[in-house]
Structure 1
């Protein structure tokens, strides 16, 4: 779902994943939704909004900040052409508001300059291809009315569960140069509500493969294209064998290439229903160096896992619970890659998770990591806790984390939502130790002055092999094959 980021430095490899679920807030039914006409005419991009009521402020539900610099992306990409309408940031959200404090005009035109932007825990607004093709994320146009700027400033980061007015926008997509690609189909014009996908403008080449359709930037380094085309179906097949077929139609893999930026190796991506999007950048991924190859495979494994735990599979309840799906997808990737390639160093990958969890949980609640922009905490600590749950299951009944996920799928088949409480209840059932959840809840809600000791206790009680070296939790044993 987006958010692994290792610090930028010369030849440093960065990775990003966005699996943010659209806000599941209660919305009043409406007869006429907000409509948005998105059109490309050569180099000119426009979005024409037709608002469905009079309100002085309209806020955009998808308003995540850029990861680097933690700034909003819309001011540099959108320009309001309608007189008297201001686009700015109020609290945690980008808004349209009337300069005179009155109602925003019912018709608002925005001129857009699509650009790639790596967002915190959300889908990038655009994927830019080296041949001129552009894919736009559909959810960026959803807007809701508010009574005042003060109301916008008071909105929380997590909108799940809030009763907001309005509903998803009805967006139409049109390219004067030719058809657009929408959910795997080429169409002259398409209109949809709550599409939750990327819509592709341009003549990007499409390749049909076993179980997956790929749209790969022609500028992408050849070795990466080979990995994506060959390794992705292997991982998807492994997940399907362990957890059942992926829900929905054959998925699409959409891959863009930003270019060989000096002193950078970057992998970013996200998963939406029926779609994996990926972006690569930097000179560090020009050649199949061992480190780059290992990260590319892990990245493919993580993104693909979200079809079962995340986007198309079990979803979290609130944004603060992203550790459930992000950490779980990390562990699924480790287990799948180890099964496909036994030479892969699973222990090194899991050790990074342990070390990162200690770093991000020291003195800071993991549940509020998103507010701080420390989304990596969700991945690292989520993976650590998933290892403990896997260990508890193995000690009691045998099996591995895929057996855990299969149990969770069965238990939550009615609504597809995996709550924090349900996850912790399973840990207690498998471990028969109610104190374990208390340690995780302490790290979630309060932070810990010594998270290494919390993790050590958790691993000791659940059979995860480790030793303590000068206060550091060091994994031991064959972490690639934990089945008992």
Structure 2
């Protein structure tokens, strides 16, 4: 059986974009009868301050690797060994290769029943969903996919697992997870229930009494501690920008989305926005004194942030997805450019050139001498956003010359051509660029930046812009948009 990686999108730290994106799994069930049918069963429970995950494993194996084992962004350390404690004797949790692994201490099979005590806390992961969103009133939302495990023939076999499991067949499959809170119902996909059992749900499950509000095509769950101006902007601007995307690209697939927003607190000297998109859900987290008051910079970044996350309902979540994690530039850079174009359309005073210049500058810095495709391995996920947006400008300019359109017309064409499997591959993206421009050297130059790296990205980007008609000038070797 094949497990599929999930989509993790923008995270803004100190108003800098730093995350990557992976394609979402789509199979979900709320049918309790599916539990125990050749699957690992997990019961996740909150009882007061105690959180537990009770595993019932479906086979004998000396080790089990956690399918999602991303590192914490700031420290680049694994989070589970510090936040989870195995209570079952003879079982340990440790990092092996790129994965967190449950293994038996005697080399034999891990017991079929394993109990883990959890301590949910805020944590920003590299190119992955945060395991928990912690609200200021004690409400906690847990990401459903963090409990999936893979049986291994040995603990050492974890070292052979590739970092990117997109398209890789592994044994087992997604776990059947049951969620319950001794204090009352949980919130699952917009609905309250005393208990929920789901397989591959791809969502956050909310424990607590957070208030939900419905309106203008979106349900909001907003931390009561969030600065009021920011909550109002999120609730008001999100439907506006999504309406613009729907006008240009058609209605987003699936049900009306839920916006879930947590607040870490007014940390001094910090302005942090983080978030991700799942089918039917936008999750966001804010932190820092820099967002306490609605100054112009904070407002502009909040709008851009909302625009980027909302864009993934068409490019990266419920819409077109990339094939492999190394192709995150397709959806992340595309969402960046969609956000810029949407914000300019909604507010003509928006300084779109400044935002796009930042993309150009960051791409040049992060691509110098390094292949962009492997940026995620280095923790340089920002390269996917910046260089993807720069290449988005290139294909947009080719579209403009060919038919007078913009980047939304490019995405609309991708929708028409690639809607059968919902995947927009690198070959399809570069093929479209060649078809529009009739210049195969453009795709060749981008491929070189992706696979080999270039010593002077400024020169390569200048050539790409010159051949497609992106307006720029060179100032002491720096590419400056005009």
1:102 and 2:108 correspond:
yes
1:27-38 equivalence runs, <5 A: 31-38=37-44
1:33-44 equivalence runs, <5 A: 33-44=39-50
Aligned residue number for residue 261 of structure 1: 267
Give the aligned length.
468
* Mapped partners of 1:460, 1:200: distance in 2: 50
Secondary structure, in 3 states, of the residue corresponding to 1:277? strand
* Mapped partners of 1:19, 1:116: distance in 2: 20
| Residues 375, 18 of structure 1: alpha-carbon distance in 2 compared, 3 angstrom cutoff | closer
* Mapped partners of 1:128, 1:19: distance in 2: 22
- Structure 2 residues without counterparts, runs of 5 or longer: 1-6, 27-35
1:391-430 equivalence runs, <5 A: 391-430=397-436
Secondary structure, in 3 states, of the residue corresponding to 1:316? coil
Secondary structure, in 3 states, of the residue corresponding to 2:95? strand
Secondary structure, in 3 states, of the residue corresponding to 2:284? strand
* Mapped partners of 1:18, 1:322: distance in 2: 6
Secondary structure, in 3 states, of the residue corresponding to 1:280? strand
* Mapped partners of 2:339, 2:98: distance in 1: 32
Aligned residue number for residue 357 of structure 1: 363
* Mapped partners of 1:308, 1:22: distance in 2: 13
Secondary structure, in 3 states, of the residue corresponding to 1:45? strand
Secondary structure, in 3 states, of the residue corresponding to 1:40? strand
Aligned equivalent of 1:140, options 118, 128, 146 = 146
Secondary structure, in 3 states, of the residue corresponding to 2:308? helix
* Mapped partners of 1:176, 1:108: distance in 2: 21
Aligned equivalent of 2:23, options 13, 21, 24 = 21
Give 1:19 deviation, angstroms.
3.8
Aligned equivalent of 1:71, options 71, 77, 83 = 77
Aligned residue number for residue 437 of structure 1: 443
Give 1:381 deviation, angstroms.
0.2
Aligned residue number for residue 216 of structure 1: 222
Secondary structure, in 3 states, of the residue corresponding to 2:174? coil
Aligned equivalent of 1:57, options 56, 63, 68 = 63
Aligned residue number for residue 130 of structure 1: 136
Give 1:379 deviation, angstroms.
0.2
Aligned equivalent of 2:287, options 264, 281, 286 = 281
Secondary structure, in 3 states, of the residue corresponding to 1:122? coil
- Structure 1 residues without counterparts, runs of 5 or longer: 25-29, 477-484
Give 1:15 deviation, angstroms.
4.6
Give 1:23 deviation, angstroms.
7.0
Q: Would you say the 8 A contact 1:134–1:200 is kept in 2?
A: yes
1:373 and 2:379 correspond:
yes
1:192-231 CA deviation, whole Å, 9 max, x = no partner?
Answer: 0000000000000111110100000000011111110111
1:430-457 CA deviation, whole Å, 9 max, x = no partner?
Answer: 0100001110000000111000111001
**Superposition TM-score, scaled by structure 2 size:** 0.95
Aligned residue number for residue 33 of structure 2: none
Secondary structure, in 3 states, of the residue corresponding to 1:145? strand
Aligned residue number for residue 171 of structure 1: 177
* Mapped partners of 1:132, 1:15: distance in 2: 28
Aligned residue number for residue 315 of structure 2: 309
1:343 and 2:345 correspond:
no
* Mapped partners of 1:376, 1:256: distance in 2: 23
1:465 and 2:467 correspond:
no
Aligned residue number for residue 30 of structure 2: none
Secondary structure, in 3 states, of the residue corresponding to 2:205? strand
**Superposition TM-score, scaled by structure 1 size:** 0.95
| Residues 18, 268 of structure 1: alpha-carbon distance in 2 compared, 3 angstrom cutoff | farther
Following TM superposition, the consecutive aligned residue runs of length 4 or more in structure 1 with deviations greater than 4 angstroms are 1-6, 14-18
Q: Would you say the 8 A contact 1:3–1:16 is kept in 2?
A: no
